[in-house]
Amino acid sequence: MRWLKVVIWPILLVGLLEACGQDYPKKPLQWREEVQLSDGRVVWVERTASADGMHEMGGPSGIKNEHYSLRFSPPGDAPLPAWESKYRPMIFNYNSEKKEWYIVSSFYNGCETWFELEQPKYPYIEFVFRQGAWVRVPLDERLVGQKTNMYREIDLEKGEPFSIDLKRKATQRTGAWGVVYQRIITFEEVQSEYNYDKECRHTTVEVCEEYSVDKSCKKKTFLKYKEGGASW
């Protein structure tokens, strides 16, 4: 597993503080969730979520090493292979025009994540099911404005009920989540609120690819801003 730390020249930022709080459950949470598609159909999907706990000394608690999965069996068809990612899914839907299932995940983790994802134009990652596999593609800009239809208030510490229906999802605290997680925002909103293309121009991310036995870094690489690289 790789660890990242951001280096903003000439200032070296200190890496993550060591965790000192209680970890979240290592065993993934599992539940079935009712999802309404844009064509009006209502389907059930199987989901999992897991993460490690982190509590900074004298600071706020948080999570790291997140992992999510989604499984779905289309009515009258073979089950889709499991989708897995470290980014929390916000939309699961079906494109009736292209006859493709797709998933959109959102991220808001700063320059290191943006660089790793090859400087996407929007703070989202889209996957489509093509030729028997989930494939990452550039965000379809026709999805701008589409609202999330996935359960967002996942309690990674205490767990979730086995079954989450549309009624329970309707009670989620919408205001507790930034707009980037509630719907796919416009490019104008990206530029004004999540402008990585501007904020990360003078940032370099130092990545440790391999650690030695004493946990010192044996192999480092650096990710930098690329002019005109925000193509995804």
Cβ count near 191 (within 10 Å): 12
Query: 3-state DSSP call for residue 25?
Result: coil
Rounded Cα distance between 175 and 182, Å, is: 9
136-160 pLDDT, tens per residue?
999 999 999 999 999 987 776 666 6
Q: pLDDT tens for residues 21-51?
A: 455 455 788 999 999 999 999 999 999 988 7
164 CB-side CA count, 13 A: 26
Of 16-25, 120-129, 177-186, which range is least confident? 16-25
